[in-house]
């Protein structure tokens, strides 16, 4: 038995024997500030080191790894252990790195995932602390094979989608529905960045959050986090594929896991750091994400004060008419110049106006839309309250608006990608258990 395993075993015996895992009083006051809860940084590392050619093919991770963090989640467990807030930090976030030990040079900026390549876990932790202003109490790290093994050790995962998802880069190819997946296919689901939805990290991050939600729900339902003994068994299974930072031991994992296992789904929150610029180009760095400064600051402030992040309008403003797709990507033709101008002013891509009919029909305006573009049709309908929707197979990529006799009110709609893909939400609303009933369920 190696020293690490011996230490883990002795720690388990000592903590179970002394009864120091039995509730909030077990929080270490010297590491976790009074009334401020516990912060755990969880990362998945993109590294191909030690993988054989066969393993790369099986995991669908060909090419060179960046030796950087591919997934990053900051988990805040409240001081009273009655709420958990999980905030995903996109890998391309543009931040100032913490200084490596002995570095006296100028400040260095880059994607947050690059901190790991410079200084491993310790610099990653200090960079997250610098960017958020929060203290990280515990650090957990895994890689491709570690993630695969962890999911398999926990009995698989549940994933869901309301439309087919394909991504050649990650190997993801699943139909719509709710699916039980093994570690390999779950890895493909959480890594995919080029699916046939909105590209980039926010959709991928939401899928990662959904997997975590359902894993926690299933572990809780199966009693894997019920009491210190069962939680210790689960934590020991995770330690076969997860590395911990210095100062984080099995006793910490048991306490955290047991606390998470006692939470109701409406007391577990998930969010993604709000983004202001989604394609900020930096020479030598590439395309990056720039945080929305006021909203991200409000997010870190809420966690630092041990407050809930859902319902906080400083983090997630509530517009009068929110929509789920970008009006700029919806091409519209209108048979009325005034309505066309108003739609153009609210952000729609009004390409041309059609000739008005000699006699307008009675009733509200009619939106004719290509089949399969229901989400975009709903966005256009939100700007035209009372309009009727009519799918038209003869249309390809353009929406036609026909104005009738009823006066037309054009409302200003607000598309916020942060709202669509990353707004704070509780686990009961995020879980695959709440998937639409029309989703087929597969094994």
Q: How many residues does the chain have?
A: 443
- List pLDDT tens digits, range 109-149: 999 999 999 999 999 999 999 999 999 999 988 877 777 87
pLDDT at 198: 55
What DSSP string runs through 146-160?
Answer: HHHHHHHHTT-EEEE
CA-nearest of 101, 194, 94, 86 to 427 is 86
Using alpha carbons, select from 312, 317, 274, 308 the residue that is nearest to residue 414: 317
Percent of the chain at pLDDT exceeding 90: 46
Region of poorest pLDDT, from 58-62, 297-301, 419-423? 58-62
Mean pLDDT for the chain? 82
pLDDT band at 64 (very low <50, low <70, confident <90, very high): low
pLDDT by residue (tens digit) across 371-411? 989 999 999 999 999 999 999 999 989 999 999 999 999 99
Tokens of 195: 């699916």
pLDDT at position 441:
40
Give the pLDDT band (50/70/90) at residue 20.
very low
| Higher local confidence (pLDDT), 374 or 244 | 374
Q: Cα–Cα distance between 140 and 359 in angstroms, integer?
A: 68
pLDDT at 328: 95
pLDDT at position 220 is 79
Q: How confident is the model at residue 55 (pLDDT cuts 50, 70, 90)?
A: low
In this prediction, what percent of the chain has a pLDDT beyond 70?
Answer: 85
Could you tell me if 38 and 256 are in contact, meaning their C-beta atoms sit under 8 angstroms apart? yes
CA distance 239 to 101: 29
As a whole number of angstroms, the distance between CA 218 and CA 391 comes to: 40
Record the pTM: 0.80
Of the listed ranges 5-9, 139-143, 212-216, 386-390, the least confidently predicted one is 5-9
Question: What's the distance, CA 180 to chain centroid?
Answer: 20
| pLDDT, tens digit, 9 for 90 and up, residues 267-307 | 999 999 999 999 999 999 999 999 999 999 999 999 999 99
pLDDT above 80: residue 442: no
In the predicted structure, residue 73 carries a pLDDT above the cut 80:
yes
pLDDT band for 339, please (50, 70, 90 cuts).
very high
Q: For position 189, what pLDDT does the model report? A: 87
Structure confidence at residue 249 as a pLDDT band (50, 70, 90): confident
**Residue 415 has which token pair?**
């598309």
* Tokens at 158, concatenated: 């549940």
pLDDT of the residue at 196 = 56
Q: How much is the pLDDT for 150?
A: 74
């Amino acid at each position: 038995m190696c020293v690490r395993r011996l230490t883990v075993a002795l720690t388990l015996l000592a903590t179970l024997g002394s009864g120091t895992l039995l509730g909030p009083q077990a929080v270490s006051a010297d590491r976790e500030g009074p009334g401020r809860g516990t912060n755990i940084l969880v990362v998945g590392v993109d590294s191909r080191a030690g993988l054989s050619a066969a393993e790369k093919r099986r995991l669908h991770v060909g090419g060179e790894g960046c030796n950087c963090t591919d997934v990053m989640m900051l988990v805040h467990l409240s001081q009273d252990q009655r709420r958990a807030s999980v905030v995903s930090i996109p890998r391309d976030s543009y931040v100032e790195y913490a200084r490596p030990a002995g570095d006296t040079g100028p400040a260095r900026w880059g994607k947050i995932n690059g901190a790991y390549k410079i200084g491993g876990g310790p610099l990653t932790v200090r960079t997250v602390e610098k960017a958020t202003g929060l203290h990280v109490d515990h650090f957990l790290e895994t890689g491709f094979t570690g993630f695969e093994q962890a999911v398999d050790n926990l009995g698989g995962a549940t994933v869901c989608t309301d439309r087919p998802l394909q991504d050649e880069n990650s190997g993801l190819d699943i139909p719509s529905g709710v699916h039980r997946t093994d570690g390999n296919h779950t890895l493909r689901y959480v890594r995919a960045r080029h699916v046939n939805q909105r590209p980039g990290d926010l959709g991928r991050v939401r899928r990662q959050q959904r997997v975590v939600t359902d894993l926690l729900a299933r572990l809780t339902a199966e009693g894997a986090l019920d009491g210190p003994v069962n939680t210790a068994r689960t934590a020991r299974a995770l330690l076969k594929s997860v590395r911990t930072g210095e100062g984080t031991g099995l006793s910490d994992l048991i306490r955290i896991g047991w606390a998470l296992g006692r939470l109701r789904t409406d007391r577990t929150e998930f969010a993604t750091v709000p983004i202001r610029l989604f394609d900020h180009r930096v020479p030598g760095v590439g395309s990056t994400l720039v945080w929305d400064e006021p909203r991200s600051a409000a997010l870190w402030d809420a966690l630092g004060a041990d407050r809930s992040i859902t319902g906080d309008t400083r983090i997630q403003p509530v517009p009068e008419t929110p929509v789920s797709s970008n009006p700029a990507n919806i091409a519209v033709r209108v048979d009325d110049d005034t309505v066309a101008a108003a739609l153009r002013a609210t952000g729609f891509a009004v390409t041309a106006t059609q000739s008005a009919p000699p006699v307008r029909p009675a009733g509200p305006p009619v939106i004719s839309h290509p089949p399969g573009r229901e989400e975009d049709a709903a966005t256009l309908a939100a700007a035209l309250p009372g309009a009727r929707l009519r799918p038209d197979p003869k249309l390809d990529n353009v929406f036609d608006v026909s104005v009738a006799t009823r006066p037309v009110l054009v409302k200003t709609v607000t598309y916020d990608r942060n709202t669509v893909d990353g707004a704070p939400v509780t686990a009961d609303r995020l879980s695959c258990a709440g998937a639409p009933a029309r989703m087929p369920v597969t094994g």
